[in-house]
Amino acid sequence: MSSQKFPRKRYETPMHPWKENRIKSERELIKKYGLKSHTEVWKAKTYLGKHRQQARELLAKLGTATSPQAKKESDQLLVHLTRMGILSMGATLDDVLALETESVLSRRLQTVVYLKGFSMTPYQARQLINHGHIAVKNRKVTIPSYIVSKDEESKIQYTIRSPLNEISHPARPKVDMYKTESIPQKVAVEEKQVTVVPPQQQPTSSLTAPITQPEAVVVVPQQPAESPQAQVEEKPVKQTAKRKEPSKKEKKTEEGA
């Protein structure tokens, strides 16, 4: 018997903990639905396993004898699964046995919030639910594994006090805000037939403007340009003879004389 401090497990663990195929398939589900750990996959399998077990028992009772109680219980089971969105309308007990784990994971509040467009990723949807930004029927829900029924699916929204109600909030998914506005439709305009009126010819007068004679052109002869060699005057170069300084021998002879 479990105590209030340590409640009993509400899920069943796998018989063999280290099977590669099972671990690989569970990791794919965790990545696809943004789950926290393998425990949430086991909870969904346990929830589905209980209903499948009940369906097998009811099929056995209905096969042997027509029991009104078994018929009533089978109808209640089908109505419950249809109301939760796991089965479609008109399903039978054989359809319950054909259900898979993804049919339960797709009805979690975390998945529905992401599919409704309230978040950009499944992981962000989990964060918004845990932080109290999501409400179902104007009631705040902070459990990501909450199973959403068909009636509640259309009543999911942000809480009243959540800052995500503003369209310009950066945490909201980036969508085109102008898609919701009504786009004015173009009104077809009837094309009117336009009659072409020919231009009226102006009456030509008998008077004609006098023809102006061209002015006389005076040709001025151009003077021949002087060659650049003539312009440059040759300046006489004065050759100045440099005085040679006397050598040392000549100085000595002059001093001795």
Distance CA 17, CA 127 (A): 29
Query: Is residue 115 located within the same domain as residue 97?
Result: no
Q: Cβ atoms within 10 A of the Cβ of 52, count?
A: 15
Query: Is residue 101 located within the same domain as residue 25?
Result: yes
Q: Which of 131, 146, 165 is the last residue of a domain?
A: 165
Do residues 30 and 38 make contact, with C-beta atoms less than 8 angstroms apart? yes
Q: Residue 114's domain is classified under what CATH number?
A: 3.10.290.10
Domain extent at residue 127: 109-165
What are the per-10-residue average pLDDT scores of the chain (257 residues)? 74 92 96 96 96 95 85 95 94 95 96 94 96 96 96 95 92 62 44 59 50 54 55 50 61 64
Query: Is residue 96 located within the same domain as residue 128?
Result: no
pLDDT at 197: 61
Does the residue 255 lie in any domain?
A: no
Does the residue 180 lie in any domain?
A: no
pTM comes to 0.65
Query: How far apart, in Å, do the first and last CA atoms of the chain sit?
Result: 153
pLDDT at 206: 46
Distance CA 46, CA 23 (A): 17
Query: Is residue 35 located within the same domain as residue 97?
Result: yes
Domains of the chain: total = 2
